[in-house]
Amino acid sequence: MNLLSAMRYLVALEEHKHFGRAAQACHITQPALSNAIRALETEFGVVIVRRGRTYAGLTPEGAAVCASAHHMLHEHERLQQHLKSEAGHPRGHLRMAAVPTAIPLLTRFATRLQARHPGIVPTVLSMSSVELETGLETMALDLALGYIERTGPGAPKTAGRDLKLNTWPQTVEHYFLLRRRADKPATKGSAAAALHIGQPIGWAEAAQLSLCLLTPEMHNRAIVDRAFAEAGVTVSPAIETNSVLTLALSVQSGTVCAVLLGAMVDTVRGHGALEALPLVAPEVRTAIGFMAPAAVKPSRALEAALGMLQEETWGAEVAGHSGALQ
């Protein structure tokens, strides 16, 4: 048995929660994956996987083995990067994830990082806050971009766990109501053809409109619902989605409005038929930042990423594409 490969298959099974999909992700057959899991059980003398007609989860002993698997795979990747990298030229994979509303910033960061360090291969994933925190905890992720209010001793009780993380605040996001312009859009190519930032609108007034909002399980929706509640109103959205792309597209192609963070509004700046109104009363501000496990020694690729995200040039770029959008 190749222990490293078997551990990789176990991690894939935990991630996909399905023997067939895990095998496909590992580019092996399902019987080969099942045999590798049984070999691990024989090696350690414990039952690792709860078996029924379908995958039923890991046993407590299996969860312990899987935690060790994450550590082993992380150290293997870190060692490979150390051996393959030269001074100033890091090489290797870097797994990053962001909450959906922060994907535009993470994508911008990944492209800048890869352009500076062609030997780094970033993976950019979109995850919910809970998935992101789990990925950091298990070391399935190297770096994440999300709501830093959810981490640390001062986190709200709704947060998933008290993670030991290093954090690098990036921006304080503002909220906007995105809607179609009532007036006729300017002709293409003129300065007025770009997205118009309009006058502020209150959350209570926005609640009376036909809205497309994120689904209730998403952390951003909880923030939005609290803002409406603080304004003394409740809202019944016309459309709900777990896709931030759908938020923007529903406004472009329909008659609904949407609540978006500045970084998402920035992605539709070229659409002159739309306007974004700052949401006030209350003025909601949300801190977005990078996060990485505090107790894990970084790989060469992660070291390069951490260096870049703390540079003034990157900070200036973030400020120009998020927040108040002034």
Residue 123 has pLDDT above 90, yes or no: yes
Please give the Cα distance from 3 to 91 (Å, whole number).
25
Q: Residue 254: its pLDDT value, please?
A: 79
How confident is the model over 109-123, as a mean pLDDT?
Answer: 97
Query: For the chain, how many structural domains are there in total?
Result: 3
Is the C-alpha dihedral spanning 22, 24, 29, 30 positive or negative?
Answer: positive
C-alpha 48/C-alpha 173 separation (Å) is 43
3-state helix, strand, coil in the chain (%, to 5): 45, 25, 35
Q: What is the pLDDT of residue 296?
A: 87
Position with higher pLDDT, 6 vs 151: 6
Q: Are residues 255 and 195 in the same domain?
A: yes
Q: Are 294 and 276 contained in the same domain?
A: no
Q: How far apart are CA 228 and CA 178, in angstroms?
A: 16
In a domain, 79, yes or no: no
For the stretch 147-198, pLDDT in tens is 998 876 555 444 445 668 999 999 999 999 999 998 765 555 555 578 999 9
Domain contains 35: yes
CATH number at residue 310: 3.40.190.10
Q: What tokens appear for 81 in the block?
A: 């990067």
Q: Is the pLDDT of residue 93 over 80?
A: yes
Co-location of 144 and 293 in the same domain:
yes
Do 295 and 168 share a domain, yes or no? yes
Indicate whether 83 belongs to any domain.
Answer: no
Q: Where are the beta strands (DSSP E) in the chain?
A: 49-51, 55-58, 92-98, 120-126, 143-147, 165-173, 175-180, 196-197, 201-202, 211-214, 239-241, 257-261, 274-280, 286-293
- Identify whether residues 141 and 216 lie together within a single domain: no
Lowest-confidence region among 33-42, 82-91, 95-104: 82-91
Model pLDDT for residues 59-77, shown as the tens digit of each residue: 999 999 999 999 899 899 9
Output the DSSP codes for 103-126: HHHHHHHHHHHHHH-TTEEEEEEE
Going by pLDDT thresholds of 50, 70 and 90, the confidence category of residue 39 is very high
* pTM of the predicted protein model: 0.85
| CATH code of 267's domain | 3.40.190.290
If one counts every other C-beta atom within 10 angstroms of the C-beta of residue 237, the result is 19
Comparing CA positions, the residue from 180, 174, 145 lying closest to residue 262 is: 174
46 versus 55: the higher-pLDDT residue is: 46
The CATH number for 57's domain is 1.10.10.10
Q: What is the dihedral of CA 275, 285, 292, 89, to 10 degrees?
A: 50
Could you tell me if 95 and 232 lie in one domain? no
Shared-domain flag, residues 200 and 275 = yes
Q: For residues 281 and 205, what is the distance between their CA atoms, to the nearest angstrom?
A: 10
Please indicate, yes or no, if residue 21 is contained in any of the structural domains: yes
- pLDDT above 90 covers a percentage of the chain that reads 76
Ranking 55-64, 112-121, 152-161, 231-240 by mean pLDDT, the lowest is 152-161
Q: What is the DSSP letter of 54?
A: S
Amino acid at 26: C
Does residue 10 register a pLDDT over 90? yes
Look at residue 325 and tell me if it is in a domain: no
Could you list the residue range(s) of the whole structural domain that residue 262 is in? 175-284
